[in-house]
């Protein structure tokens, strides 16, 4: 798998069924640039999770809806409901442990 870019218009459709993790990021954010390759690597190992990312500068509606105030922020959703909110950089192992709680 790979991390799919989503926009305000497609976010709900992409995250409404099953387990998903959304990376809210921006091009100017250093920790975001560190987080992206971690999510890409994890997406290659985990089959039953939808990995998506959203540029907060290009898509202001969804981050505002979820009160995203700092980036990177990762939202883990199960069937469209937020089950975890993680702010700041997280390692692949940390993220794998979080996702395992909702996929097993």
Specify burial of residue 20 (Cβ count, 10 A radius: 0-12, 13-18, 19+). buried
DSSP bridge pairs for 31: none
Q: Check: CB of residue 35 under 8 Å from CB of residue 72.
A: yes
Catalytic residue, chosen from 29, 86, 96, 98, is 29
Q: Which of 3, 19, 32, 71 is catalytic?
A: 32
d(CA 50, CA 69): 23
Residue 32 bears catalytic tag: yes
Residues with active-site annotation = 29, 32
């Amino acid at each position: 798998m790979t991390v799919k870019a989503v926009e305000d218009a497609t976010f709900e459709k992409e995250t409404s069924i099953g387990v998903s993790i959304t990376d809210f990021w921006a091009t100017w954010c250093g920790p975001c640039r560190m987080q992206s390759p971690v999510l890409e690597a994890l997406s290659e190992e985990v089959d039953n999770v939808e990995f998506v990312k959203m540029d907060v500068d290009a898509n202001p509606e969804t981050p505002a809806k979820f009160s995203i105030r700092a980036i990177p922020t990762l939202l883990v959703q199960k069937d469209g409901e937020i089950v975890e909110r993680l702010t700041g950089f997280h390692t692949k192992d940390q993220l794998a442990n979080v996702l395992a709680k909702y996929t097993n």
